[in-house]
Amino acid sequence: MDRLKSSARLMIVSDLDHTMVDHHDPENLSILRFNALWEAKYRHDSLLVFSTGRSPTLYKQLRKEKPMLTPDITIMSVGTEITYGNDMVPDEGWVNVLNNKWDKSIVTEETSKIPELTLQSETEQRPHKVSFYVKKEKAQEVMKNLSEILVKRGLDVKIIYSGGMDLDILPQGAGKGQALAYLHKKLTAEGKLPQNTLACGDSGNDAELFTIPDVHGVMVKNAQEELLQWYAENAKNNPKIIHADETCAAGIIQAIGHFKLGPNTSPRDVPNLLDAKLDQIDPAYEVVKFYLFLEKWQRAEIEDPERFINNLKSICSPSGAYVSPFGVEVSLHDVIAKLKDSYGDKKGKQYRIWVDQVFSSQIDSDTWLVKFKKWEQTGKQK
């Protein structure tokens, strides 16, 4: 959060599975559309927060499988772990909050006596989260009985059922909503409360996100029954919460436009990127645009390759340079000239390119330095 000197223009707090990430989209087009929009228009002055039920182990596994951006903040294990930046530095203050009236050993002891509960894998058992599977028809009864038992043992816990099968036991102060409230409080103390916050989810463990004051909320089109039921009972008349017409990340893009939180046209949705004209130079947008062009180029989706090569040369200064991750500096015009050799080399393949953490700084009146990470994926190989 320290990279921003003032309040973020927008903070997006999004669940991952079936919200940001569409597991039914082999081309990953929904999340790739979001990625391009975020890096082109929001990364420089906004905050991206992933809020997932996944443990750190499963979160890192998902990052290897899907074309995900690097968030500024990661909330994991159903709001029981908060980390910052690329190194995922843990928030020790949050750990102290969660220790209140929590004893994992007591939770483990009492749940072992309930046959309807099936313990999830060891990676999903965390210091402040114990997770099980339970059949849908048994869930409400198990939750009621378990809550009464743990209160008698002196614990103050929260039991969350989501996905039609997952049951998580957490400290009362934990959860995705409480983690977001904690971040808001922390940012407010620093004088950096975001101008707008958009919470995005699809399942029961996301409901808390929509209860935080002054937060816009979007339930994606494919939201699960338990979240829709919560919405009908608690938030149907709240104009700040919508049920999107689009699934997963496309629903997030729709919500940005619905609430007028900023631009919501992804560069991936612009038919002819190189003909798109901006009122003023936008280095981040140009980087996103170039790599989208490169993806289409290698997939042989450019109808007039020669015209595009000439167009690229015309918008790049003859003195412009590309510096590789190894520190090798090459003329931009030389890089463009060599593009002819790669035309169509990924034709017929599920090949995608996305850029991540695009940051630009102006060196002088007509010179910019742009730093970013570039990723490629062919099929399931990243």
pLDDT computed for residue 302 by the predictor: 86
Nearest 5°: the CA angle 86, 88, 94 is: 145
For residues 276 and 354, state if they share a domain: yes
Per residue in 134-187, pLDDT (tens digit) is 999 999 999 999 999 999 999 999 999 988 899 999 999 999 999 999 999 999
For residues 149 and 41, state if they share a domain: no
CATH number reported for the structural domain that contains residue 121 in this entry? 3.90.1070.10
Q: Using the 3D structure, point to which of 227, 259, 291 is the last residue of a domain.
A: 259
pLDDT at residue 39 is higher than 60: yes
Residue 38 domain-assigned (yes or no): yes
pLDDT computed for residue 358 by the predictor: 96
For residues 209 and 254, state if they share a domain: yes
pLDDT computed for residue 154 by the predictor: 95
Considering the chain, what is the average pLDDT of its residues?
92
Residue 338 domain-assigned (yes or no): yes
Residue 239 CA, chain-centre distance (Å), reads 23
For residues 160 and 296, state if they share a domain: no
Where is average pLDDT lowest: 1-15, 120-134, 314-328?
Answer: 314-328
Residue 333 domain-assigned (yes or no): yes
For residues 238 and 186, state if they share a domain: yes
Q: Where are the beta strands (DSSP E) in 125-190?
A: 130-133, 157-162, 166-171
How many folded domains does the chain comprise? 4
pLDDT at residue 232 is higher than 80: yes
pLDDT at residue 106 is higher than 80: yes
Confidence at 299, pLDDT banded by 50, 70, 90? very high
pLDDT at residue 222 is higher than 90: yes
The dihedrals phi and psi of 343, each to the nearest 5 degrees, come to -60, 125
Residue 265 domain-assigned (yes or no): no
- Euclidean distance between the first and the last CA atom of the chain, given in angstroms as a whole number: 28
For residues 250 and 357, state if they share a domain: no
* Average pLDDT of the residues in 329-358: 91
Per residue in 93-102, pLDDT (tens digit) is 999 999 999 9
Which residue segment(s) compose the domain that 108 sits in?
A: 101-171
CB 90 within 8 A of CB 65: no
Question: From the DSSP assignment, how many helices (H) and strands (E) are in the chain?
Answer: 11, 16
Residue 2 domain-assigned (yes or no): no
For residues 89 and 106, state if they share a domain: no
For residues 313 and 291, state if they share a domain: no
For residues 212 and 163, state if they share a domain: no
As to burial, measured by CB atoms within 10 angstroms (0-12 exposed, 13-18 middle, 19+ buried), residue 297 is buried
For residues 105 and 92, state if they share a domain: no
As to burial, measured by CB atoms within 10 angstroms (0-12 exposed, 13-18 middle, 19+ buried), residue 72 is buried
* Average pLDDT of the residues in 117-131: 95
Q: Which residue has the tokens 């409360």?
A: 193
Q: Using the 3D structure, point to which of 234, 259, 284 is the last residue of a domain.
A: 259
* Average pLDDT of the residues in 315-344: 84
